[in-house]
Amino acid sequence: MMKTDSIKEKLLAAAEKRVRHVGFNAVSFRDLAADVGVKSSSVHYYFLKKEDLGEALVNRYAENFKNELDKIDANTQSLIDALTAFVGLYGRALVLGDSVCLCAILGAEVNGLAPRIRERVQAFFQMNTDWLDKRFRNGADNPARLTSLEIVAALEGAMIVSTTLGSREAFDVTAARILKTSI
């Protein structure tokens, strides 16, 4: 028999994969149960409502992303190295034909999400812009630089366009432009 935490983690991993591929509203507890090999009632044991699943999913994603940001903070000194690593986080989230950033998908569905999920998605984007703002305050002053909000919006948009076109070109061009103009 699987450990309780193990089943919950497997459900969250399956949910993230599905949401990143087809969106939150297209995911059902029945699909997740089939993915993990449990009964649908088991999904309800861990997540009473779909809103609970969505909130847990965004919290998990944001926590993992925050851990990566902390690693960047610990391992980089220069602004260019930090920004390159930040852009790399987004680049790794882009898997053509399969997925983009979880919060990009949820952001596109924001009007149909429960308020708790919407708030967590907003907090994710705020965490990203706050992290960039902190890095830019510690770096060189460049009035031509993109703002933190512009960088996050450009990366998220580039992921969506790249996925739509079936090519990383939009993301790679945008990432290069961000790095060139933001230092």
Q: Where are the alpha helices (DSSP H) in the chain?
A: 4-22, 29-36, 40-46, 50-75, 79-93, 102-108, 115-138, 148-165, 169-181
- Residue 137 confidence (pLDDT): 80
Structure-block tokens of residue 21: 């591929």
**Span 32-55, mean pLDDT?**
95
Q: How confident is the model at residue 4 (pLDDT cuts 50, 70, 90)?
A: low
Is 132 buried (19+), middle (13-18) or exposed (0-12) by CB count in 10 A?
buried
Give the Cα separation of 60 and 55 in Å (integer): 9
Which tens digit of pLDDT belongs to each residue from 68-110?
A: 999 999 999 898 999 999 999 999 988 866 678 899 999 999 9
> In whole angstroms, what separates CA 23 from the centre of its chain?
13
Q: DSSP per residue over 27-67, as a string? A: --HHHHHHHHTS-HHHHHHH-SSHHHHHHHHHHHHHHHHHH
- pLDDT of residue 59 exceeding 90, the answer is yes
In terms of pLDDT, which residue wins out, 4 or 90? 90
Sign of CA dihedral 98, 100, 106, 107: negative
Which tens digit of pLDDT belongs to each residue from 124-174?
A: 999 999 999 998 886 555 656 788 999 999 999 999 999 889 899 999 999
Domain boundaries of the chain, sorted by first residue: 50-181
CA distances from 14 to 45, 68, 91, 102, 122 (A): 16, 21, 21, 12, 23
- Residue 1 confidence (pLDDT): 42
- Residue 145 confidence (pLDDT): 76
Q: How confident is the model at residue 29 (pLDDT cuts 50, 70, 90)?
A: very high
CATH number for the domain formed by residue range(s) 50-181: 1.10.357.10
Beta bridge partners of 95: 99
In terms of pLDDT, which residue wins out, 27 or 94? 27
- Residue 140 confidence (pLDDT): 55
**Span 12-16, mean pLDDT?**
96
Q: In terms of pTM, does the model score above 0.85?
A: yes
Mapped onto helix, strand or coil, the DSSP state of residue 17 is helix
| Pair 1, 18: CB distance under 8 Å | no
